[in-house]
Structure 1
């Protein structure tokens, strides 16, 4: 698509001739959404305290697992299983139909098995090229809707929707509505991208590339589900090339900006640490606020994200820190993962010696992007 065609859409630039199309011609299946995320932590009681403060509700609790949910009807958002260390296990995507699991199992040489999700269901276990366990599930039952926060009634200029009453958003947790997306870092970006497009039928909303090195292809992708003419979140999965391999953050939708701000005040009063925010992104347009849980996993409250149908082609933009937000405070080193440490240095050296897509030129390009 030409540059002109992208003006006033979501990116000033489209693909050049011969660049990645951002979708597969014949995917195995097309997943409908992100189902939930799986973690392990040694202290489930501490994890539950943070979860309630952040705005989750408890869907189910056993001695060895904590299932968390939002207020919307559907699957849970997260399961935290008891483990020896705190770690991210992997994402679980939601199949549109039970038959999709059979098709996926045949294509990948795996089996369909029972899912240990509240309400029951079926699941297929896969491994992506980065080494992340990826599961695709179909739930037998949807969790029922819970009472949620109502958006504030706002006055706009001469459009007066609220009279003879005041605004007093309560200082309380920003009630999570649903899981929105997960962001992963990988040393094999191109291979992983191809796998998600070919296997799960996802499509790219936006590509980012290293400034001056567009000819080497993208180094980050914001990827959505292909629901045909039904608009889907701008990104359900985002991935970027880096020296590490693992979880970066996950994002959870809340009602509006006041829920983000009041929920953030509530978290701050309880001693939790904001990583970055409040602001509004460029790719995806979300209002955002990022926090660290007691195990230093990053979680995001967001509202007002973009929705794209299948006919919107990928945008292309250079990768830069300044390009992360339309407004808000400068991105922190904590958010960027740019705080120097011996562990980070070992990670970089391991990546440069390994069989992956990171080389010294790309590493320097990533460092430049972090500081631009």
Structure 2
């Protein structure tokens, strides 16, 4: 046990679990999903959404009057599905099954059915709802798009090692070409119930837990969950869950080639009038270099590069949550990123706080005090 703890603290987090704390995984999950497949949104103005998507670095894979499918350069399914709707909203994630038999296993274990996906996507799906009411699909057999030309990482002279000789660095001012979908973060008023649902039904495992300062004994309020691929490393988090006064989308993240692609792509976005929310910096949990942007509907999206990859052997880290603890370096977390800048979003969240305190959920008065302490830390 001591040797395992040394590996954990040396490679991952300063602190692990205390006796009796959440183990961060289910003993016998129904299935173990392989990865995120795509995210689904509804948007009232598909033309405007597609224009931003191209500036952000997506390529349109398919388009009709009512739907836009956006992809990265990696082969596989589209990253994002945009459908026309009366208002802008996040519909839910789709996860990729590890094998086709898992759909039957999941359907049998949840009392649901395996259904066919639209022909534009191909394949089959099991459609579920998590305890927060978010629609969750697990899919298999979808059409695979071929790889596109990728943005090549730059050759770097690091320290005294000379890899680039008689050549300059001139990263072009162009969109940072999205390679793939990395993760999605959602907020829930029923954090513990929702966390356990993903562990038990989809086989996700926790990379890191965060708790409110002074409230560790009440349990975590945020978790970063990765796919369990055994000895094959997976992204530090594919899904992150955080406790809050409403059930809502927080942000989604998309991998790009390197820091130059991310930074030059950010300049391209700024020149076209789009709004940076926070960045550039490097996270602590996950270690990604990040840059956050608001799309025209106010949804938060992230470019990232150089993230952590863990295999199934690593146990969860535990740390107190703080605004200053969101990054190792970079500018302080902005009010916009934290959702507390004056505007419609913060007003909606304030109304949600009042409603949540009147209802039977995990977001009580002590949790509100903890959240306010985090926002000011």
1:236 corresponding residue in structure 2: 238
Q: How many residues align?
A: 372
Mapped to 2, the partners of 1:7 and 1:95 lie a distance apart of 32
- SS of 1:349's partner is helix
- Partner residue in 2 for 1:154: 156
Offset at 1:345?
A: 2.1
1:185-224 to 2 correspondences below 5 Å: 185-224=187-226
CA contact (8 A) 1:36 1:76 kept: yes
Instruction: Please report how far the alpha carbon of residue 4 of structure 1 lies from its aligned counterpart in structure 2 after TM superposition.
Output: 5.0
Give the one of 112, 127, 131 matched to 2:129.
Answer: 127
Partner residue in 1 for 2:327? 325
1:96 and 1:118 mapped to 2: Cα distance?
21
State whether residues 284 and 325 of structure 2, in contact with CA within 8 Å, keep that contact through their aligned partners in structure 1: yes
Match of 1:351 in 2: 356
Of 96-105 and 279-288, deviating more is 96-105
Structure 1 CA distance, aligned partners of 2:308 and 2:22?
A: 22
From 54, 68, 71, the equivalent of 2:70 is: 68
Task: Check the 8 A contact 2:77/2:142 in 1, yes or no.
Answer: no
Matches of 1:278 and 1:342, distance apart in 2: 27
- Cα-Cα RMSD: 1.2
Partner of 1:339: 341
CA shift digits 1:227-272 (9 cap, x unpaired): 0000000000001001121100000000000000000000000000
**Is it true that 1:51 corresponds to 2:53 in the alignment?**
yes
Deviation, structure 1 residue 8: 2.5
Please state how far the C-alpha of 1:129 moved relative to its aligned partner. Answer: 0.2
Distance 2:149 2:119 in 1: 22
Q: 1:177-217 CA distances to partner (integer Å, 9 max, x unpaired)?
A: 00000000000000000000000000000000111111100
Given that 1:75 and 1:139 are in contact with CA atoms closer than 8 Å, whether structure 2 keeps it comes out as no
Residues in 2 aligned to 1:72 and 1:118: alpha-carbon distance in whole angstroms: 18
Post-superposition shift, 1:156? 1.6
Deviates most, 245-254 or 340-349 = 340-349
Matched, 1:98 2:103: no
Equivalent of 1:183 in 182, 185, 189: 185
Deviation, structure 1 residue 64: 0.7
Q: Spell out structure 1 runs of 4+ moving beyond 6 A.
A: none
Report the more deviating stretch, 138-147 or 333-342.
333-342
CA–CA separation in structure 2 for the residues paired with 1:227 and 1:7: 22
What is the match of residue 308 of structure 2? 306
Q: State the distance in 2 between where 1:117 and 1:269 align.
A: 38
- The question of whether the paired residues in 2 share the 8 Å contact of 1:119 and 1:139 is answered with no
> Among residues 84, 93, 97, which one is paired with 2:86 in the alignment?
84
Q: Structure 1 CA distance, aligned partners of 2:35 and 2:128?
A: 16
Match of 1:249 in 2: 251
Given candidates 11, 26, 29, the residue that maps to 1:9 is: 11
* Structure 2 unpaired stretches of 5+: none
Aligned residue number for residue 374 of structure 2: 369
C-alpha separation between the residues in 2 aligned to 1:117 and 1:10? 43
State the SS of the aligned residue for 1:7.
Answer: helix
SS of the aligned residue for 2:10 comes to coil
CA distance in structure 2 between the partners assigned to 1:225 and 1:370 by the alignment: 29
Equivalent residues of 1:67, 1:80 under 8 A apart? yes
Q: Quote the Cα distance in structure 2 between the aligned partners of 1:186 and 1:139.
A: 30
